[in-house]
Chains A and B, each alone.
Chain A
């Protein structure tokens, strides 16, 4: 039980290290899917394993055993875990579930709002909503249908190519359901701290995914040349905190450089390396579940035997 649990947590952590490295070296769409699916698996495995490790807290408690009709003695005999470890696991589990719950609520509120907005806009606006603001800005609001929102300030300031780039980029966010990818990875990172890096990497992956699709319309070299200007326009220096300048510059430069170079390939073998980490975590978790199920069965059988 314990060795399988440790194995599961280790492989989940290994995914947290390997996945960012892989996701930045493959086509962004493949990278995003790797982080989403693998992150969901590694996040769920960690929670599941912690819950199993914490189970003796309930399993060895005579009061709880009374209501569930199982033998505390047989449970303690077979779980081969220490009660101290179980309490520690329970404390960590409670903390992580709380953290995940907060993130989940935040995401749910944001998505509910944006879907409500989409409903209320109804036919009042098309797929594109233009705000009369002078401040240049552009974003995608998920919903049914999702809306691309740009300000008048942006539309009047950029070239037709840049305009097409921005609109196609935001539309790609909506078409690809990128908000779901971001939501799943944010949640996975919240419930498993060893996955903390995948969240930021996912943000980059979906931006680059949208960049690639937009570049399909305007051309890679045009997109690479136009992107930094548009980003600079939206992030006007006046509004930007001084410390963030250089960092922002590097992320934008990164997106532009990725567009200027040949598109990254999918590279299934590289994806497989990271996917295997998540897969091993899953297998080890299933082993843990099997072990614990056996302990519970034994304890239940023992109680039934004494009552007979």
Chain B
């Protein structure tokens, strides 16, 4: 099931680079983006994807000296956020739609399960 980073779908790389731009919190160069990534990507890969993100309007860039600096498009993020809010609603509404990172296990099952699985892990460790 596990794929190597360099063979991953373009979508995943775009997501990661966009994530790095948001994490930076200021306009950054492709080199900065690259150092912010967990995966080791070629410089040209990073610039190619940045340009693609600019084309899509998700990222903006401007010239700074001899290089470009990149930044997320805040206008578009606000628009997307407004759309999210319109369609999904808030709180309970939204919770019903989403599989969240933390999951939404029901209490009883969690307890029963932890017992079974943790026993196994302990056996293996011991």
Query: A: which residues have CB within 8 A of B?
Result: 20-21, 24-25, 29, 106, 109-111, 113-114, 116-117, 120-121, 123-133, 137-141, 145, 148-150, 152, 155-156, 158-161, 163-164, 166-171, 173, 178-179, 182, 197, 199-201, 203-204, 206-207, 212-213, 215-218, 230-231, 234-235, 244, 247-248, 250-254, 257-258, 260-262
Contacts and interface: CB of A to CB of B under 8 A. Distances in A.
Contacts of A171: 11-12, 15
Given A216-B3, A235-B102, A163 B110 contact: no
A200 B99 contact: no
Nearest to A264: B120
B110 A200 contact: yes
Contacts of A130: 18-19, 22, 72, 77, 80
A251 B36 CA distance: 30
A217 B5 contact: yes
A139 B20 CA distance: 17
A132 B74 contact: yes
Main secondary structure of the interface of A (DSSP, over half): helix
Interface string B100-126: 111111111111111011101100110
A116 B84 CA distance: 10
A217 B15 CA distance: 14
Nearest to B108: A200
Q: Output the residue of B37, B72, B76, B107 with the most chain A CB within 10 A.
A: B107
A131 B84 contact: yes
A162 to B, nearest CB: 8
- Which applies to chain B's interface (DSSP): helix, strand, loop or mixed? helix
B22 to A, nearest CB: 4
A267 to B, nearest CB: 12
A217 B101 contact: no
B117 to A, nearest CB: 5
Interface string B55-88: 0111000000000000010101111110110011
Of listed A129, A206, A234, residue having the most chain B CB within 10 A? A129
Contacts of B124: 261-262
B102 A247 contact: no
Contact of A251 (B56, B72, B76, B103): B103
B102 A248 contact: yes
A123 B39 contact: no
B2 interface: yes
Nearest to A106: B96
Nearest to A217: B5
Contact of B83 (A121, A127, A247): A121
Contacts of B37: 160, 164
29 contacts: A24-B113, A25-B117, A29-B1, A106-B96, A114-B88, A116-B87, A124-B76, A124-B80, A125-B80, A126-B56, A128-B15, A130-B22, A132-B77, A155-B22, A160-B23, A163-B38, A164-B38, A200-B108, A200-B113, A203-B104, A203-B105, A204-B103, A212-B1, A234-B100, A234-B102, A248-B102, A251-B110, A252-B102, A257-B121
A131 B80 CA distance: 8
B116 A178 contact: no
Given A25-B117, A123-B57, 9 more contacts: A124-B83, A125-B76, A163-B20, A167-B19, A171-B15, A204-B105, A215-B2, A250-B111, A258-B121
B42 interface: no
Contacts of A139: 98-101
Contacts of B80: 121, 124-125, 129-131
A300 B56 CA distance: 66
A127 B98 CA distance: 15
B106 A200 contact: yes
Interface in B6-33: 8, 11-12, 14-16, 18-20, 22-23, 25
